[in-house]
Amino acid sequence: MTTPFIVYGQTALPANGSLTNPPVNVNGLNGEITSLPYVVPCGYNLILTGWGFEGLKAPFGVCIPWIGTAPATNAKCLASIGTGPGSYYVTNMYWSIPAEKILNVLLINGTTQANVVCAWFMQGYLEEVIA
C-alpha cells in the first residue's frame, strides 16, 4: 500500500542567505505534510520522486533535500536542484528513505535581493514495508 507525500511552500529568502526547513503551505491536499523536518514513520519507506524550485534565475536559487540532523553537510545532501530560466524541477526519480530517517530541505538565495519569494516542493509516496 502507498500513501501520497507532498510538501511545498512559498518562502521569502534572505539576501545571500539560506533557510533550512521553511514553513510549509497547508491546503488540505492528499498526502500533504504540515511541517519540516519530516521523520519517516515506522513501517514505511519514503520514496521521493521529485523536487523543484522557482523564483530566481540560474545560478542563484538552489533547493537541496538532505537527510539527518543539523548541520547540513555534503555527505547528507541528496541531488540539488538549481533554477533554470526562473524555475526548475526534476521528477521520475526514486530515492528510498527508510523509517526513522529525517528529511529536511535547504533553500539558497545567491543574490543580493532580500525577501525574494520562491516556490519549492518535494513529492513522492510512503510505501508500507511488509515483513
- Burial annotation 8-30 (CB, 10 A radius, 16+ → b, else e): bbebebeeeeebebbebbeeeee
Fold of 2-128: Jelly Rolls (2.60.120)
pLDDT tens for each residue of 63-101: 899 999 999 999 999 988 776 665 677 788 899 999 999
| pLDDT per residue as tens, the chain (131 positions) | 789 999 999 999 898 989 999 999 999 999 999 999 999 999 999 999 999 888 776 667 888 999 999 999 999 999 887 766 656 777 888 999 999 999 999 998 888 888 888 889 999 999 999 97
Indicate the domain borders of the chain.
2-128
